[in-house]
Amino acid sequence: MHIIEGTIIEGSKRASELGFPTINLAYESVHQPDAGVYAGSLLYDGEEYRGAACLAPNGKLEIHCFQAVPLKHIKEASIALYEKVSEYVVGDDGTMRATIAGDIEKSKRCFADLERTLRDS
């Protein structure tokens, strides 16, 4: 697991336009994992919101949470990256919509597997 701390910022809204709203995080990090999509969690205001987090090669970090996040005046947050579920890809709108939907499903399965492992241990 890798935790990246930062400040919530406004993104380009491209993922939102495709039907997958995200929360974007600006951060400074000397060490970060490889670019890709991860099963991840937004750690915000004492709560954990699971989702699919994308770390782009240019350092852009965003997360689509499985449930709505009640954003407040608090701007500090962290994103925990658990397991890489796919490589970072770029494409046209149709390709991106399908890719994001698939990454969300992979992330949900990752969390389900983790819960099953914890329950069975």
Three-state secondary structure readout of the chain: CEEEEEEEECCCCHHHHCCCCCEEEECCCCCCCCCEEEEEEEEECCEEEEEEEEECCCCCEEEEECCCCCCCCCCEEEEEEEEEEECCCCCCHHHHHHHHHHHHHHHHHHHHHHHHHHHHC
Domain CATH for 54:
2.40.30.30
pLDDT along the chain (121 residues), means of 10: 93 84 89 92 96 93 95 92 94 91 96 87 74
The tally of domains found in the chain comes to 1
pTM as predicted: 0.91
Q: Residue 114: what pLDDT?
A: 86
Q: Domain limits at 109? A: 2-120
